Chains A and B, each alone.
Chain A
């Protein structure tokens, strides 16, 4: 385990050094990312300024949802580039090289690169999160802070799982699965607001098919003391981020199936 961690760090630092070679470009891309993501929150702020509220939610509360999901997704985005790049690798026969190395293919793809310019999105999400924690009316205890971290870890796992599934599709088809992009970026957008404001079928999709509710909505409810005290939801929110991890583990199983298919049919 420790050996794998060390190897991961070595992979990542190699890739970061590679990225650093293009410094000016990196700076602009990061700022650009920060702005593009920032605009989303500017829009939310403007709407709150005009409407004064959103079905009983205040701006700081929505900011908590927004900050949690965006920060977690930014990390996923930065760390999952290998899976994103995977369809290209398969097409050009580069995946064979990974099969020739005595390490799991999923690990090699995970360690492929850590894209630093995604730090723009991370910075923006984190800034909003900090704002939320300062401006929100409930008291943020250490336990709640831990829950927030746990929830973000769960979101990270869930989004990562989605990207693994998207990459796995490349074993079977050369067409890219637009659907997955919809669900990851769309999911981030959706999770920026409390799920309660959406239509029923939408809420159900993001609870049972893509467990966004478990990793973002319910934990945030628990933090904001918004659920009926002692009710199911109130306690569930403290444990639900684990569903994200389960989701990731399931996706990795599916990935293994994909690798098996690849090895029996050739490229």
Chain B
């Protein structure tokens, strides 16, 4: 599944709402509009079988891009081809070959058992009975759906529902999968299950995956290539490490000291915050591997708990953007 995107431009006109009665009346007569340039010349290419992360802050243009690639939205200008087809030109044909999962919205029928949603989708996509059986069995096995099949979707937990949504999106064996925040709100176990599944489908079936997410852990676990979009433009398109390398690398180490009055003093880590027994340290993972730092601090101080964090994606991006501007 080859995706080619060239100079995509999409502007939205948002009607401004005026306040008060006079404003509302005036609004009827003449509407003032605000134009938002959601996509400002976006270009990239994705080869068949790739697993690409598509990241950026809210409002950057991620969902707009996905909507264009799915054929839901028609861009103002630019070229776009998915498997040789223009997505919005022949919607029904195009849509038959893609699967889409929205993290915050299920596509399953709320009051019905999950398996009935699957059967409805089988008929909607005209999947031959034999293929359906085989695919369903495989997906049920991989995602551990057997106990969930007969449960009404409204009674499923978020993690269970996401697994069912993933299966639903793949029942018709699409060659391309768009995932929009698939792990949002999930517990750790479910997140791992979802990631494993995506990786498996990509490796064994060659399903091309475009993963939109805020969760850097998803990206790090799955994607070798990352496209960063910010305010409608591509800021980075390449390996994840390269992205990190563009900014001064940094990680956070947060420890809970056993001795609330103790302190931490380490030549390779800088204390940035202190709250009771919780100390937040900043360090450069390139110079000091996290494991080494942890071992050193743990050996010198009695600790109750510790975590290691990446700086949030927004911070990385903000720094990239600031640097791009400078």
Q: Do A and B come from one complex?
A: yes
Q: Residues of A at under 8 Å CB distance from B?
A: 3, 6-7, 10-11, 14, 17-18, 21, 93-94, 96-97, 99-104, 263-266
**What are 8 pairs between A and B in contact, CB < 8 Å?**
A7-B123, A10-B120, A10-B123, A14-B120, A94-B105, A100-B98, A103-B92, A266-B73
**Residues of B contacting A7 in the complex (Cβ-Cβ under 8 angstroms):** 123-124
Residues of B whose CB lies within 8 Å of any CB of A are: 10, 12-13, 64, 67, 70-74, 88, 91-93, 95-96, 98, 100, 102, 105, 107, 109, 111-112, 116, 119-120, 123-126
Closest to B70 in A: A100
Instruction: Give the secondary structure class of B's interface.
Output: mixed
Within the complex, what minimum Cβ distance (angstroms) separates A100 from chain B? Answer: 5
| Among B12, B95, B116, contact of A100 (Cβ-Cβ < 8 Å) | B95
Contact partner of B74 (CB less than 8 A), chosen from A100, A104, A264, is A264
Our pick among B72, B105, B116 for the contact of A99 (Cβ within 8 Å) is: B72
Which residue of A has the minimal Cβ distance to B121? A101
CB-defined contacts of A10 to chain B, threshold 8 Å? 119-120, 123
Alpha-carbon separation in the docked complex, A11 to B109 (Å): 10
Question: Is A266 a contact partner of B88 (Cβ separation < 8 A)?
Answer: no
**Chain B positions within 8 Å of A102 at CB level:** 92-93, 95-96, 124-126
What separation, in Å, do the CA atoms of A103 and B126 have in the docked complex? 10
Asked if A263 contacts B105 (CB within 8 A), the reply is: no
Interface contact B92-A263, CB-CB below 8 Å: no
Listed residue (A3, A18, A102, A103) with the most chain B CB atoms within 10 angstroms of its CB: A102
Q: In the complex, what residue of chain A is closest to B71 when comparing beta carbons? A: A99
A6 x B123 contact (CB < 8 A) = yes
Which of A11, A21, A266 interacts with B111 by CB under 8 Å? A21
Contacts A100-B107, A264-B74 aside, 5 further interface pairs with beta carbons under 8 A come to A7-B123, A14-B116, A94-B105, A263-B74, A266-B12
Cβ–Cβ contact A100 & B72, under 8 A: yes
Say which residue of A3, A21, A263 sits within 8 Å of B88 (CB atoms): A263
Q: Which residues of B contact A18 (CB under 8 A)?
A: 109, 111-112
A10-B120, A100-B72, A102-B92 are contacts. A3–B111 as well, Cβ < 8 Å? no
Distance A104 CA – B95 CA, assembled complex (angstroms): 11
For B91, the chain A residues whose CB sits under 8 A away are 99
> What B residues does A263 contact at CB under 8 A?
72-74, 88
